[in-house]
Structure 1
């Protein structure tokens, strides 16, 4: 049985380990800091999937007042293909719906093999381009 819950600060290392195992981290982002920032705001959280007491999946979820966003969706490689990602997406969407969010989006890096998963569970590609600008220095750090 898979249970979902929101993360606590004590879950940080286990969550970051999943992000790393799933290839979701990048050298210019500090995943531990990303995790703590998500928990530090009322408009964001990290949803966890657990089997027994083992954390096996994550979805960073936030609402900016206009759209909901999901980042760092990952399921441990040994648990993939069992519907856990879909459950995390559904739980994240419900968290957002309870906050009045009308639409949720997620971003995938080009080449991410999970694109087929999202289309399989009913998500549609959007015609948008994402632009970025660092506010804390060129590498994202102060």
Structure 2
């Protein structure tokens, strides 16, 4: 469901890490026992995030994505979340249009990120290792 995922966004690994969190903000849409969509969200007490939303290509434009977004918004609202953010790759104009249709606006922000070492990679030094 994630055709251009980068290595650190490997869907199987991301889903595994999210399920280990146990925060209840991972939802799957099924139809006749087949997964047709999913959404992964989070809330840190300050604002909520929609991290990943995917709908099977054969099931797109049937309201599944909209249903998943509305469900996440309700769940975040029940947690007291005042605002939800998300990020979309700039080249993905159809996804930007989808979120616009759901009431999201583009905000004047710069998205910044930093990859952290993963197990097996160069380990991050802990403060006690720097002496």
What band does the TM-score fall into relative to the shorter chain? Answer: 0.7 to 0.9
| C-alpha separation in 1, matches of 2:9 and 2:55 | 20
Deviation at 1:30, TM superposition (A): 2.7
Distance 1:40 1:124, change over 3 A: same
User: Is the aligned partner of 1:114 residue 2:95?
Assistant: yes
Gap runs ≥5 in structure 1: 1-17
Q: Highest CA radius of gyration, 1 or 2?
A: 2
| C-alpha separation in 2, matches of 1:43 and 1:104 | 16
Measured on the aligned residues, the alpha-carbon RMSD in Å equals 1.9
Deviation at 1:65, TM superposition (A): 1.4
| C-alpha separation in 1, matches of 2:9 and 2:117 | 11
Which among 32, 38, 52 is matched to residue 72 of structure 1? Answer: 52
Q: Tell me the number of residue pairs that the alignment of Structure 1 and Structure 2 aligns.
A: 120
Gap runs ≥5 in structure 2: 122-131
Give the structure-1-normalised TM-score: 0.75
Relative contact order: is structure 1 or structure 2 higher (C-alpha 8 Å, sep ≥ 6)? 1
Distance 1:41 1:27, change over 3 A: closer
CA contact (8 A) 1:60 1:70 kept: yes
SS of equivalent residue, structure 2 residue 38: strand
Give the structure-2-normalised TM-score: 0.81
Which among 67, 70, 74 is matched to residue 90 of structure 1? Answer: 70
SS of equivalent residue, structure 1 residue 118: helix
